[in-house]
């Protein structure tokens, strides 16, 4: 099978590409810069460019779509162009090229409206209630992809929502946690007692590959993928910090105050954006102060997948990664 992986220069996209190569698949990638994954055929460009996308899907059997604009801040039209427009362009090209399987990599934030998610499955994506430009556009993109399933000539489409993916080499989550903790700028919201699921990167990649394999049988559905080991925010942040050799967060901010501060930061960022992610947003405050863990029974039964790396083993691997850097 020849598989196109978009966004393979990222942590999870690269892991998916390597997992497919390891079992003997031919892998093509599409992103703005080289994937850095030996053995892949890189197509450089944007998912918003129809000519580039048409070249990328030519002759492939399956598509795993991870490329997205992922940020806590930015102009709404940028998120719309990449996350919704890029998905539409890729779906159109895949349908014309006769692609058989399509995995839309989404996010549990597409069904998060600000309150706790406790032991639920893949609730319906809702762009109207999702929080922030990223979540809203990812929700719209997921609905767009699943709506294509069943059309004449369309591929079998499955949506996979990995939750809080982390692991060695992660610059989006782990490096920011470690950097802020090292500078004493990482608070716990409330008591840090909210239970959250997370996913070690290799498990997330294996879950996505399982969805690709199972697409003809489970098409049209969405699945949340996690380790299935919910930890408190304090435990998870503390484990990552200790693995990196920095002091875990010890000071606290009331959750309500953090949400208000996040709204204020967002207003300032719209006028005078910084060079990095904003230190707090309302969406981030909600994520760090509300529970979000998920029932994995349907995911594991229907995708015929189970996580191979526990949270504790993942933290040991993360610690070895940082020890090697030191």
State both tokens at 108. Answer: 């549990």
* pLDDT, greater one: 260 or 32: 32
Query: Could you tell me the maximum CA-CA distance found in the chain, to the nearest angstrom?
Result: 56
When pLDDT is averaged across residues 59-63 and rounded to a whole number, the result is: 97
State both tokens at 157. Answer: 């489409």
State both tokens at 322. Answer: 């940082």
Question: Taking the CA atoms of the chain, what radius of gyration do you get in angstroms?
Answer: 19
**What's residue 91's pLDDT?**
97
Cβ–Cβ < 8 Å for 5, 13: yes
Burial class of residue 128 (count of CB atoms within 10 Å of its CB; 0-12, 13-18, 19+): exposed
- Using the Cα atoms of residue 246, residue 252, residue 253 and residue 259 in order, give the sign of their dihedral: positive
**Proportion of the chain above pLDDT 90, given as a percent:** 65
Kindly report, residue by residue over 151-161, the tens digit of the pLDDT: 888 999 999 99
Kindly report, residue by residue over 229-250, the tens digit of the pLDDT: 999 988 999 999 999 999 998 7
Cβ–Cβ < 8 Å for 27, 60: no
Give me the active site residues, please.
134
Q: With cut-offs at 50, 70 and 90, classify the pLDDT of residue 173.
A: confident
- Cα separation of 227 and 235, whole Å? 15
Helices (H), ranges, the chain = 11-22, 50-57, 76-79, 86-97, 132-148, 174-182, 201-218, 233-244, 255-271, 282-289, 297-303, 311-325
- Whether residue 270 is predicted with pLDDT greater than 70 in this model: the reply is no
**What's residue 265's pLDDT?**
47
- Using the Cα atoms of residue 198, residue 129, residue 133 and residue 251 in order, give the sign of their dihedral: negative
Cβ–Cβ < 8 Å for 41, 27: yes
- Using the Cα atoms of residue 244, residue 109, residue 235 and residue 204 in order, give the sign of their dihedral: negative
For 31, the 3-state DSSP assignment is strand
Number of C-beta neighbours around residue 276 at 10 A: 10
- Whether residue 62 is predicted with pLDDT greater than 70 in this model: the reply is yes
Q: With cut-offs at 50, 70 and 90, classify the pLDDT of residue 143.
A: very high
Please report, for the chain, how many H helices and E strands are present, in that order.
12, 15
**Rounded to 5 degrees, what are φ and ψ at 303?**
-90, -10
Q: With cut-offs at 50, 70 and 90, classify the pLDDT of residue 262.
A: low
Kindly report, residue by residue over 201-227, the tens digit of the pLDDT: 999 999 999 999 999 999 999 999 999
- For residue 303, give the nearest of 224, 216, 207, 159 by alpha carbon: 207
- Whether residue 254 is predicted with pLDDT greater than 80 in this model: the reply is no
Q: With cut-offs at 50, 70 and 90, classify the pLDDT of residue 192.
A: confident
**What's residue 72's pLDDT?**
63
When pLDDT is averaged across residues 107-123 and rounded to a whole number, the result is: 83
Which domains are seen in the chain, by residue range?
2-166+200-226+294-308 (3.40.50.720)
Strands 195-196 and 231-232: antiparallel
Among the residue ranges 40-49, 109-118, 129-138, 216-225, the one predicted with the least confidence is 109-118
Among the residue ranges 198-212, 297-311, 312-326, the one predicted with the least confidence is 312-326
- Whether residue 138 is predicted with pLDDT greater than 70 in this model: the reply is yes
Please give the mean pLDDT across all residues of the chain. Answer: 88
**Proportion of the chain above pLDDT 70, given as a percent:** 87
pTM, full prediction: 0.92
- For residue 118, give the nearest of 198, 200, 226, 196 by alpha carbon: 196
Report the phi/psi class of residue 60: left, alpha or beta, with left for phi > 0 and alpha for psi in -120 to 50.
Answer: beta
Residue whose entry in the numeric block shows the structure tokens 């944007």: 46
- For residue 225, give the nearest of 250, 243, 249, 201 by alpha carbon: 201
């Amino acid at each position: 099978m020849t598989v196109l992986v978009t966004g393979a220069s990222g942590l999870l996209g690269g892991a998916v590409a390597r997992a497919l190569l390891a079992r003997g698949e031919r892998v093509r990638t599409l992103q703005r810069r080289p994937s850095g994954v030996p053995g892949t055929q890189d197509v450089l460009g944007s998912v918003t460019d129809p000519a580039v996308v048409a070249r990328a899907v030519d002759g492939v059997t399956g598509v795993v779509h991870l490329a997205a604009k992922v940020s806590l801040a930015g102009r709404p039209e940028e998120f719309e162009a990449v996350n919704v427009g890029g998905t539409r362009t890729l779906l159109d090209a895949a349908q014309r090229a006769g692609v058989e399987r399509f995995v839309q990599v989404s996010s549990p934030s597409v069904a998060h409206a600000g309150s706790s998610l406790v032991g639920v499955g893949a609730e319906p994506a809702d762009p109207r209630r999702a929080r922030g430009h990223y979540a809203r556009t990812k929700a719209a993109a997921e609905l767009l992809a699943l709506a294509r399933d069943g059309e004449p000539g369309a591929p079998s489409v499955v949506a996979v929502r990995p939750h809080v993916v982390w692991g060695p080499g992660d610059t989006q989550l782990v490096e920011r946690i470690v950097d802020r903790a090292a500078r004493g700028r990482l608070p716990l919201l409330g008591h840090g007692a909210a239970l959250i699921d997370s996913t070690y990167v290799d498990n997330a990649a294996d879950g996505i590959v399982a969805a690709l394999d199972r697409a003809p049988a489970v098409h049209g559905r969405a699945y949340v993928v996690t380790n299935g080991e919910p930890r408190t925010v304090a435990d998870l942040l503390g484990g990552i910090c200790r693995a990196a050799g920095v002091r875990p967060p010890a000071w606290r901010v009331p959750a309500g105050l953090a949400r208000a501060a996040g709204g204020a930061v967002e207003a300032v960022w719209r006028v005078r954006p910084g060079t990095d992610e904003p230190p707090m947003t309302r969406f981030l405050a909600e994520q760090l102060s509300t529970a979000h863990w998920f029932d994995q029974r349907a995911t594991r039964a229907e995708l015929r997948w189970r996580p191979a790396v526990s949270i504790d083993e993942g933290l040991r691997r993360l610690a070895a990664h940082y020890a090697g850097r030191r």
